[in-house]
Structure 1
Amino acid sequence: MTTPTRPMIQNPILPGFNPDPSIVAVDDDFYIATSTFEWYPGVQIHHSKDLKNWRLVSRPLNREALLDLRGEPDSCGVWAPCLSYHDGLFYLIYTDVKRFNGDFKDAHNYLTTCETIDGEWSDPIYMNSSGFDPSLFHDDDGKKWFINMVWDHRREKNRFGGILLQQYCPETKKLVGEIKNIFAGSKLACTEAPHLFKRNGYYYLLTAEGGTFYTHAMTMARSKNIDGPYELDPYGYLLTAKDNQDLPLQRTGHGDLFETSKGETYLVHLCGRPLLGERRCPLGRETGLQKTYWTDDNWLRVENAVTDGLPELQVPAPNLPEHPWPAEQHSHNFDAAELPTEFQWLRTPNPERLFSLTARSGYLRLIGRESLGSLYEHALVARRQEAFKYSAQTAMEFYPTNFQQTAGLICYYNSNKFHYCYVSIDDEGNRFIDVMSCLGSQDLTLTFGLRDGHIDAFITDKRFLLPKDGLVYLRADVDHHLLNFSFSVDEVHWTKLPINLDYSIISDEAGGGDGAHFTGGFVGMACQDVSGQQCPADFDYFNYSEQ
């Protein structure tokens, strides 16, 4: 009799920008929280009942009391949330990073709670500011413990100064007692992302090391006492691709451990899928899954790898019934009173100043605000890229009255890296199409020319003029490294703009700009009016399709 083949789960389980996963299992329901950085609302929470099929169910940091990101640099904001569940209550720990560059890190850690995953979360409880990547551990004796990495700004010291432990009192809602540094990390250094677990009399400390790029790794240590000393796993790193640069899943590390109701153990972890050649990841840092097992001497191992510790593209599914969700809707006509779930905006808790779904029935109205380089308030509504090859299309009605007013379709990484197909008006009063690119600095390139692989300056005699009124249809076609924009005035006859754009700049590895780069590619709609007149753009629909 043939044994049935066990179903497999394809990695990544959360494609596109979904980094730093924290997972909690509540009976046969699984919830993953991921970082959102400068995107609003903060923290994405996905739900699954089988570890294969996931749906977005909540972005809990959705009001000013919980989160205000105005003025925060790119890749600051919400870092590495930790989601847990105890005695009928969900706990969410998160960091709001206000400053990344330089020797100091201004990183403030908070706790919010909710009885349901998609309900209204409580006003935040301030925890500390000593470092980032905090988490909360609920011990079986009723005590709660808060841990985070400590940032050491002193030049002669290791900036990743170890893992701090302190007790949390739920009655007084404060950290109490002695602060102890319980773990200095391994020789790989950059020790962060701590999570505590307890099993068979041991406390296990799971951390990430090696930085978040191609030397990233996951490390495990254990102790009989919660405050240590912790011994490193003698086998080595629990999960890493750092010594196997040809694997399709790279940058594997930062993650969390959990167990199903059937007693099977898995890891969720950060990962990236680089393009060939430049080894850039426009999809950003994604979430993967690996099956694990415990050895006889009580150490954790990754199962089914050719060599233990390597990330697999396919992993065995748990012994649970498959539970697909209704298919996601990728075409939107903006008929509802709320923004479709997959869309986000940047930084501000006051989105009514950026867009409206009621100002004009059936349209998303973007209100022209600050420039694309602003860290405060600009009208950009976008969704994640979730595949290497996709198309996005929109129809826009926009009547600028001066050259400082622009609106259109944008492929966006951050304020230093984007490609923007926009409509504006020239000095003669003609509406026109142009492409604005930012290739790693605040300097803009306006172009329709391509010479010797380099983008030329704006060529006025190749400007594409538009009728004085009517809808303008815009489309972005992305194929791995390549981006092409097209436009139409009747949605039938399309004109492809004569430039092949390097899409790989929509990635953290492309460099450029200041500070960290931790997010991923978005595609969406934008409207700017740096004259201050708030010229609006009305978008009739937005379609996203993967190929």
Structure 2
Amino acid sequence: MPQVRNPILPGFNADPSILRVGEDYYIATSTFEWYPGVQIHHSRDLANWELIIRPLNRKAQLDMRGDPDSCGIWAPCLTHDGSNFYLVYTDVKRKDGSFKDTHNYIVSAPTITGPWSDPIYTNSSGFDPSLFHDPDTGKKWFVNMLWDHRRRPLLFEGIALQEFDPVAGKLVGPRKNIYQGTDLALVEGPHLYKRNGYYYLLTAEGGTGYDHAATLARAKDIWGPYETHPDKHVITSKDHPHAALQRAGHADIVDTPDGRTYMVHLTGRPTTQMRRCVLGRETAIQEVIWKEDGWLYLKNNAPVPSLWVDLPAERDDKPYWSTKHYTFEGGELPIDFQWLRTPEPERIFRVADNGLTLIGREAIGSWFEQALVARRQTHFSYDAETVIDFSPEDERQFAGLTAYYCRYNFFYLTVTAHSDGQRELLIMASEASWPVGSLRADMLAEAQSVKIPNEGKVKLRVSVRGKELQFWYAVVGEDGKGEELKKVGPVFDASIVSDECGGHQAHGSFTGAFVGVAASDLNGTAKKAVFDYFEYKPVEHKSDRYEI
């Protein structure tokens, strides 16, 4: 079989849940505070994947206004019971500290593209829910991790099991804590399977950082007791700091029609001395085998994930390396793009024949309503550019191009105005992002602001080459032709836009880098900015040590 290089879903695609229905494979991944919720990719061969839908796309299903960074949709689970698709998910309203507000829901649909139902609320006792359809009894079982705010400092109580009644639309019967995990702790991400008379429970442990792992346990009875795998962890990079794929864990398994078994798992690819994963947590795949002892093992190099894996087909890498030029036509936002939190996108953007119009709302760091539309960074090096038509009246109106992780981590080249009305370019960034050392404070101040004509469009570009980020601009004339692009601002450390610099404690930042456009009007007058197009161009660069 052809060898394919991991990850299969590059860029921010965390917590994969995989499903096969007939000849079709689907992977659902977390989207956190990005709207619409849950990404579902489709494949016929496990090697080539296409994003086909984000099913949580209306207010009745999901409203994340006020959800903090890295909250929102955690660890969805996609299943099929022979008739319908089921998707279970958590909407996290608070995560930091001892208390977590984690509301779990179930939606269903006759086909993968919908229509997806309004949600059924199940519980709020923990996160990472999944649904298991018992092939022998026909019962449906709901599992999620249990959170105990008294159990400091770990707080992870174990894995809860309870029956779900689809007719009544609720959990019924007793709830039991069926597995407390291993000494690695932080047990979460449960998935149940049945094989050869055993119930298998696959969990995630060790947090989401460099100690992450997937642990397997089994029992003859669904209620337990569950015995742990003889090697404890079926996949982990925690004891192999030089492996290409790090942070391996949170896994799910699927069988192929010819009897092979594959495991998908999240992973991260650090690229700097500080081990920062700019692309966030990605989805990789490994072939696994069932041995005579009835346990599952990685086929190669267990338990360390392999960069290369045998798959049924070769991957076509041309789409991955092609330039994406988005012209924002037809009234619909291209599927590559998402926005933040709100189920009322008409209040923050419109797609029309003249391009993408952003309606200036709150600041770029708002947790409620901000006009920010972006796509994932899927390469370590790239160029992204746009042309903006924006006439700000003062310094409280600004719009432009952003490399964005969260409210704590972003770089933002804006068209704005001085208090006297003179239009200018201004670079905004999280405080920790500004260079230090040889760049004196007065030089930094000069670098932040560049006066530009009060009329006309402006071309904005960001160039990322590994850990280096540089902004560029050019004034566009009435004939549509622009000046030669000029550098603006210093070279920034692009690796700051990463999980490891997300402004939270360890295991607290979960998304990945985006690049896109934004607009704010802190005067509250909803000033509009129009973007003619958006272009994302992958660039092969020597610093891309782990590039696929």
Superposition TM-score, scaled by structure 2 size = 0.94
Cα distance between partner residues in 2 of 1:461 and 1:61:
42
Q: 2:29 aligns with which of 17, 31, 34?
A: 34
Q: 1:42 to 1:7 in 2, by over 3 A?
A: same
Q: Which residue matches 1:475?
A: 461
Q: 1:74-93, aligned counterparts within 5 Å?
A: 74-93=69-88
The answer on 1:204 being equivalent to 2:189 is no
The answer on 1:428 being equivalent to 2:424 is no
Kindly state the Cα deviation for residue 377 of structure 1 after the two structures are TM-superposed. Answer: 0.3
The answer on 1:378 being equivalent to 2:373 is no
Kindly state the Cα deviation for residue 373 of structure 1 after the two structures are TM-superposed. Answer: 1.7
Cα distance between partner residues in 2 of 1:389 and 1:455:
29
Q: 2:93 aligns with which of 70, 80, 98?
A: 98
The alignment-based identity, stated in percent, is: 52
Cα distance between partner residues in 2 of 1:462 and 1:161:
49
Q: 2:500 aligns with which of 506, 509, 523?
A: 509
Cα distance between partner residues in 2 of 1:385 and 1:78:
19
Q: 1:39 to 1:365 in 2, by over 3 A?
A: same
Kindly state the Cα deviation for residue 429 of structure 1 after the two structures are TM-superposed. Answer: 2.3
Q: 2:485 aligns with which of 494, 514, 536?
A: 494
Cα distance between partner residues in 2 of 1:462 and 1:521:
23
Look up the equivalent residue of 1:485 and give its one-letter code: F
Cα distance between partner residues in 2 of 1:197 and 1:357:
44
Q: 1:329 to 1:118 in 2, by over 3 A?
A: farther
Q: 1:361-376, aligned counterparts within 5 Å?
A: 361-376=353-368
- What per-residue deviation string (whole Å, max 9, x for no partner) do you get for residues 166-213 of structure 1? 011111111110101100100100000000011111110000000000
Number of equivalences: 531
Which SS does the other structure have where 2:68 is aligned?
coil
8 Å contact 2:248–2:305 — kept in the other structure? yes
Q: Which residue matches 2:209?
A: 213
Kindly state the Cα deviation for residue 430 of structure 1 after the two structures are TM-superposed. Answer: 1.6
Q: Which residue matches 1:3?
A: none
- What per-residue deviation string (whole Å, max 9, x for no partner) do you get for residues 314-356 of structure 1? 10013x6879997877111112210011000000000000011
Which SS does the other structure have where 2:511 is aligned?
coil
Q: Which residue matches 1:254?
A: 250
**Structure 1, 507-516 or 242-251: larger mean CA deviation:** 507-516
Q: 2:102 aligns with which of 97, 101, 107?
A: 107
Q: Which residue matches 2:347?
A: 353
- What per-residue deviation string (whole Å, max 9, x for no partner) do you get for residues 458-506 of structure 1? 5258732112211100000011111000001133401012401011110
Structure 1's unaligned 5+ residue stretches are: 1-5
Look up the equivalent residue of 1:335 and give its one-letter code: E
Superposition TM-score, scaled by structure 1 size = 0.94
Look up the equivalent residue of 1:337 and give its one-letter code: G
Cα distance between partner residues in 2 of 1:156 and 1:517:
20
Q: Which residue matches 1:296?
A: 292
Q: Which residue matches 1:330?
A: 324
Cα distance between partner residues in 2 of 1:237 and 1:426:
58
Q: 1:509 to 1:321 in 2, by over 3 A?
A: closer
Look up the equivalent residue of 2:309 and give its one-letter code: V
Cα distance between partner residues in 1 of 2:169 and 2:211:
38
Which SS does the other structure have where 1:79 is aligned?
strand
The answer on 1:146 being equivalent to 2:142 is yes
Structure 2's unaligned 5+ residue stretches are: 477-481, 540-548
Q: 1:137 to 1:325 in 2, by over 3 A?
A: farther
Q: 1:49 to 1:322 in 2, by over 3 A?
A: farther
Q: 2:516 aligns with which of 524, 527, 534?
A: 524
Cα distance between partner residues in 1 of 2:180 and 2:124:
19
Kindly state the Cα deviation for residue 362 of structure 1 after the two structures are TM-superposed. Answer: 2.4
8 Å contact 1:450–1:499 — kept in the other structure? no
Look up the equivalent residue of 1:452 and give its one-letter code: S
Cα distance between partner residues in 2 of 1:462 and 1:403:
13
The answer on 1:544 being equivalent to 2:536 is yes
Cα distance between partner residues in 2 of 1:488 and 1:174:
58
8 Å contact 1:54–1:325 — kept in the other structure? no
Q: CA RMSD in A?
A: 1.9
Q: 1:188 to 1:419 in 2, by over 3 A?
A: same
8 Å contact 1:439–1:512 — kept in the other structure? no
The runs of 4+ residues in structure 1 deviating greater than 4 Å are: 155-158, 320-329, 453-458
The answer on 1:226 being equivalent to 2:188 is no
Look up the equivalent residue of 1:159 and give its one-letter code: L
Kindly state the Cα deviation for residue 456 of structure 1 after the two structures are TM-superposed. Answer: 6.2
Look up the equivalent residue of 1:178 and give its one-letter code: P
Which SS does the other structure have where 1:374 is aligned?
coil
Q: 2:125 aligns with which of 113, 122, 130?
A: 130
